[in-house]
Amino acid sequence: MATENKNLSQYDKTSVPDARAFRFGIVVSEWNDTVTEGLFSGAEATLLDCGVLPENIVRWNVPGSFELTFGCKKMLETQDVDAVIAIGSLIRGETSHFDVVCNAAAQGIKDLNVKYDCPVIFCVLTDDTLQQAIDRSGGKHGNKGTEAAIAAIKMASLS
Ligand code: DLZ
């Protein structure tokens, strides 16, 4: 799972399915917005680079990662999307709150994938420090948003 020695921004466009006909939802948590805006930029740029039309990218914001499940659920129910990307950044504090919200976000998004016939991609960073998050949202370890966009295209093309 470690990305310490891997740059997350590298992808081979020839191995990515044609994305021109797809429509994507992106739900962005406002907590640690330096990080989540970096992830969003990486995801959006990658979708556009792979041929997705700007009008086929729908962005919604939610207050925190805990709210990603509901935001994605509403996106699935009201927008005609082929895949949704859930973007968040959780940074460990001094209490167990971090673990509670991490588990809730992961479980909630997993449940959406089971319930709905549309993939929801987990682009939630769970880091010990802000620097680790910055390094993975457009920093020295690349951008996990890019990886999420490629996953979204690949999953959309399954249906
Ligand atoms: C409360 C809280 C804390 C302490 N830390 C984070 C965090 O690091 N990342 C994040 O996305 N959200 C955090 N939140 C907010 C919760 O996700 C949620 O928005 C609130 O508990 C309200 O339901």
- Structural domains of the chain sorted by starting position, each given as residue range(s) with its CATH number in brackets: 52-156 (3.40.50.960)
Please give the number of the atom of ligand 1 that sits closest to the Cα of 88: 11
Is the pLDDT confidence value at 128 over 80? yes
Is the pLDDT confidence value at 111 over 90? yes
Is the pLDDT confidence value at 150 over 70? yes
Active site (catalytic) residues: 97
Cβ of 40 less than 6 Å from ligand 1: no
CA distance 74 to 62: 11
Pick the residue whose CA is nearest to atom 5 on ligand 1: 90
Q: Evaluate if pTM is beyond 0.85.
A: yes
Is the pLDDT confidence value at 4 over 70? no
Close Cβ partners of 78 (under 8 Å, ≥ 6 residues apart): none
Question: From the CA atom positions of the chain, what is the Rg in Å?
Answer: 15
